């Protein structure tokens, strides 16, 4: 896993020998932060590539293919999202997309690794001023601890974390989901990325089943993301009376989107048949 100087390529290896790679022109930056190994490359065709602990976080050209489906479906399904919490997302892409919604009065972002924020601000054209928006409150700290201890409540909680393996496993625990549920307002939505549909199927199933114990309803969907082992899965937890299958198209038309298509919202829910059957087995869904 990682950079091959001879071939001038970066390859992220997934389970079972599946790899996603980019040809690179040069390595721009490399450091060991307090929490993880951070690398930054200039690719041949996709701009800069951000890597944490050997895993691709984003490429500049196409990063919206991750940030748009992570943010806009839940924001548009909520009737009036004013307060939003983002856990992770140090590159600023998720924050940027949240702030495109005129209803948002406050967006709190909790990122554990300050170096990710600093490197992203200096090298990446992703946040586009989001960190300086007056509605933004940036907290450098542990998102799990913050959610457990804060007295604030939110309309939408977005978890923009690394894959549901290793250190990020805490973000996929029942205890964490219960903290999130408690900190959602009477009507609220929670979303997390949940890994590759094909290669992290067991992790997706585990997270889905645990979320079903906590939230009033749980939805799953997938989206093809540039730089990831697509299709990529997302899980949405519902609190209160919110129908995630219906979105506000009027609000959607105020935002110009490139990848996620609000007018074809129903296509999000397409899942390989065997995965859908595994997800729905024994959970009471029709």
- The residues annotated with a catalytic role in the active site are 160
Distance CA 209, CA 121 (A): 37
Distance CA 101, CA 155 (A): 13
Residue 57 tokens, joined: 């976080």
Distance CA 86, CA 94 (A): 8
157 and 183 Cβ atoms separated by less than 8 Å: yes
Helix axes 174-183, 201-214, angle to 10 degrees: 50
Give the phi and the psi of residue 105 in degrees, each rounded to 5.
Answer: -100, -30
The set of residues, in sequence order, having a beta carbon less than 8 Å from that of 230 and lying 6+ positions away, is: 196, 197, 223, 224
The set of residues, in sequence order, having a beta carbon less than 8 Å from that of 42 and lying 6+ positions away, is: 24, 25, 26, 28, 48, 49
Q: In what order do the strands lie in the sheet with 83-88?
A: 136-140, 106-111, 83-88, 154-160, 184-196, 232-239, 217-223
């Amino acid at each position: 896993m990682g950079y091959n100087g001879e071939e001038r390529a970066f390859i992220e290896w997934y389970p079972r020998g599946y790899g996603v790679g980019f040809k690179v022109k040069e390595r721009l930056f490399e450091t060991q932060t307090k929490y993880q190994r951070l690398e930054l490359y200039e690719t041949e065709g996709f701009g800069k590539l951000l890597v944490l602990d050997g895993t691709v976080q984003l490429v500049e050209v196409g990063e919206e293919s991750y940030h748009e489906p992570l943010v806009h479906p839940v924001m548009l399904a909520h009737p009036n999202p004013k307060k939003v919490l983002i856990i992770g997302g140090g590159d600023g892409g998720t924050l940027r997309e949240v702030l495109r919604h005129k209803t948002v009065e406050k967006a709190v972002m909790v990122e554990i690794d300050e170096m990710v924020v600093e490197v992203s601000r200096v090298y990446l054209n992703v946040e586009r001023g989001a960190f300086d928006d007056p509605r933004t409150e940036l907290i450098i700290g542990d998102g799990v601890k913050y959610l457990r201890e804060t007295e604030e409540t939110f309309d939408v909680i977005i978890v923009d974390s690394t894959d549901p393996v290793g250190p990020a496993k805490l973000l996929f625990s029942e205890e964490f989901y219960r903290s999130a549920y408690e900190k959602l307002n009477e009507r609220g939505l929670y979303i997390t990325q949940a890994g590759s549909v094909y290669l992290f199927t067991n992790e997706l199933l585990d997270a889905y089943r645990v979320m079903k114990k906590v939230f009033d309803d749980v939805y799953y969907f997938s989206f093809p993301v540039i730089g990831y082992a697509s299709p990529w899965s997302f899980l949405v937890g519902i609190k209160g009376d919110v129908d995630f299958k219906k979105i506000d198209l009027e609000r959607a038309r105020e935002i110009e989107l490139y990848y996620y298509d609000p007018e074809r919202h129903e296509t999000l829910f397409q899942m390989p048949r065997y995965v859908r059957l595994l997800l729905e087995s024994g959970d009471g869904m029709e």
